[in-house]
Structure 1
Amino acid sequence: MKVLITDDEIQIRKGLRLKVDWEEEGFQLVEEASNGQEALEILQTQDIDIVITDMRMPIMDGVELAKRCHQEFPHVKVIVLSGYSDFDYVRNSLQQGVKDYLLKPVAPDELVESLRKIRKEIEEEKRKQVEIAQMSQLVHSHLQELQEQFILHLAKEERLQLPIVMERLKQLQLEELANENVKVQFLTVEIRESHDPARLEELKIPFQLLCKEIAQQQNATYVFTDPSYPNMVQFLQLVDSNSSTTNHFVLQLQQTVNKLLKLETVIGIGTIVNGLSEYRSGYISSLLAWSQSQLGSKSQIIDQTAASEEVFDFSPDFERRITNSIENVDFAAFKENLQIVLEGTEGRSVMSFSFAANQVLFMLGSLAKKYDVETKDIQNTIWNCQQNIWKLYSQHKVKEDLIQLATLIIEKVRLARFSNKKLIDSIRHYLDQHYASEISLTTLSALFHINSAHLSETFKQQVGQNFSDYLVNLRMKHAKQLLKDKQLKIIDVSNLVGFSNSGYFSTVFKKHVGQTPVEFRNSIGE
């Protein structure tokens, strides 16, 4: 801890230096000042923890210095030294920020005792500050993680009903994304390092953290990661008509990563899309932009907006037909629909083909995740297919990969559909990911193509409790974890686990846990 001695007599300052083994006690004498004004000037340029000051000095005395420290540097602890005649006056000045006062001439043991007491107080304050910062970061990180997961879900996964999506966006404090008319743009950012691949792995997490820090400094900018692309970070930005804003951000991002991490970046700028229904198109376009980069570790920026005039015709109705062919275990229907999607109209461009192939790949990946059948074979096939799409010239191989992937998934879905245990396991896996959304038996029966009455009966047979009780228990389990973060308000916890009404949440929580959320949180503290 750093100490500043302030006294107008140089002999007194020398004496104070000799009274204490400063290094042994854990202190460092960094500066001296002959009056309060000099001391304030030093405080403005250096990080000082403790000021030892005489009472009577020219220009600015010790009590005035203590007042100014209390106002301008509240973290600084002040010890005032005074003669007998000023003792009561100095003692009264404690309310002005003085932590201790010692009678001159100061005995070494008294000074050491005072310093130790203040050091303990400073250490305790710093410990509490670290705890608060860690808790705040934990709460923020938890919310940020949920936000990232949901944005990834919007960009890749099968759509939930729009009212459910809107409600979840509000719960996650993402209201600005809930506007169907808002324009957004995805950016794909990859780090590259040619000389030392191990260094790339070491810097992957720092790169992700740096991107999050940069995003926090921007308006309406969100970061998420996609497990399918380990060396990449994705950005989602709300945009206006001024494209120069995006270009400036991209250049700044590239320069910052290079300066701080000494890594090259390849950035794919996706087309600007309108509303939630086009998020997947926007995300895919950023990946396709990135895929046109040159090999090698040199920084590049590829802007896909120039190709935005081309219409990628992939209607929700057609998306549903492909999904149904997989979930209905109809391989012939899948091949027929795939042929239509990939060939499209005569004269389709390579870019349009790649875009459509990526759409199908995302859908198949979503179905594999939905039915919890992401085996190693399926993951490898997804990766190989993605690489072939990036090459932009292996259309025949892409079709083969998609058919192979569909074959693997259809077989897994067939087993799930004809095995009650596997079907319920898939549904439980889905609930574990979407417990905070507005999910009902009707929703699940439509998603998994099963009669709701049969689903209700089968669920209870396999799980041992009915669907609604299982969902509530799942939400209560997550609520108890969130309540440990005391920076989260009860209404925040309520929203994050899927209750729009905090009063109803408290009622349900007490019924299942035996305590109100507040009582449960207090019991943890005890």
Structure 2
Amino acid sequence: MKLLIVEDEHHVRDRIAEGIDWRTHRIELAEAVGSGREALAILQKDHIDIVLTDIRMPEMSGLELAKRIKREHPHIKIVILTGHDDFEYARESIEYGVLKYLVKPADNDEIQAAVLEARQLREQELAEKHNLALLEQRWEEHLPHLREMFYKSWLNGRYSAWELERRSRDLQIRLGEKLLLPVILDMDPIAESDERFQVRDRPLVQFSLYTIARDILEDTDCAMVQDDDGLIAVIFFASAEEGEEALFGRINPKIGLLLATVKDCLKLTASAGIGPCVTDALRLPHAYRMSRQALQERIVLGNDVAIPYRETSPSEDSWTQLSELERELELAIETGGPSRRQEAVERLVEAGFSPGRPVAEGKEVLLRLTCLLARLVHAQGWTLRETLKADYEDFEQFNRLLTREQILSWLQRMAGRIGDTIAQRRRTGTQLTIDEVVRFIHERLHDEELSLYLAAEKLYMNYSYLSRTFKLVTGESFSDYVLRLRMERAKELLAKGLKVYDAAEQVGYKHVNYFSKNFQKFWGIRPSEVYKV
């Protein structure tokens, strides 16, 4: 929970901010500011849960601030500090969403209790908002759309094997050992002489085809989506025990009925392209492309026809498999580690340079791989020479590779060099950012206003990104890092003979008592005892 304190009297503000150990109560003090204007600026940049504000302030009163918060940030819980003269008026302004009113001079125990009450209420609201039953209901409502997007991406070959397995499992789709039969449906061209529909009505009649197909295939084990270009794609599923012949025997009458229904209802015709039956889920995109190619034959065969696929050659199948493996290698180089890159390279070499592949095709595969590596490097805005360094000459001489073992070793080195360079430059960019933040901290260590919010604002960085990245790189949160530096610096100053209040001031503490409390908590001794160490 994040707390924002708004109080124009600095001694009251400091007492509340520094006199209460908010962290032990699971409260993060985001800022303590002196005006409503400053508070609104912070609310625009940070996610605040609780606001503690005085009622009488220059420029904008606490009630005016509460009104703005109620309108723009309704989730925030507001606690108001008010004088005796303002109390009745403040109590009447319940419509501003004020949770609690505390009459000045309220002590720290009262203030702490009010803020903890606000925290409890906010946590309760969050728990209700994220209630598991509600999330499950929303998931179920959104599931049909997610499944439709999954089938569309699957048909268009956008998934590797691991993505297909994970996404299908997440969407509760059981693929298993099934026969897969893709069919593509499309309305035939509308004749210019047609009196009921015109060419511009094609989207409408295509949607009509979709609804008719959905009704006729309702009791069939299949998935149906409208592809990006408006064609209707259907994936029929069957168990391995049923067999291909039985599957075609069951599906062909359905397709015939569908085309006849379109003709009867719309007085127009539609055609279907029937792809090959496959058992490997990764082969479905290829089978789907074959169904689309089959549909193109209606140019010769005419309209109102269901066209089965034609057999493809083994060579065509192997090139399709190679494309899938190339995508896996590209992903492994960009985001994977050494073991994942090695596995992707081995699979690709095994498929691309198998003993049965002709020599001419093997050379073409090698050329494809060099283009793939070059494209990966150039996509980063780099040159091959600066990326590959000592391996650049070997990359240029790829045509001298004669054996499968040489190609495997060559590709492992090139993929490793490119992958390591990508990872190193990502780490370097992050380290430079944190180095800049660390310099800022050291320069402002004496400033009592030093905070993560201030650093993000002055260095033009996103607050949340800076918080996560700083913790990831340094292993400490921003506040813990600053506290450690201040305590170490204070101990050095005290050991040199500085007075406690001078040391406190040089490490950003205005109040000596608060400094002494933090020092003893951090080191286990009082500041005055440092002289004796």
**How would you bin the TM-score normalised by the shorter chain?**
0.3 to 0.5
TM-score between the two structures when normalised by the length of structure 2: 0.36
TM-score w.r.t. the length of structure 1 is 0.36
Structure with the larger RCO, 1 or 2 (CA within 8 Å, 6+ apart) = 1
Bigger radius of gyration, 1 or 2? 2
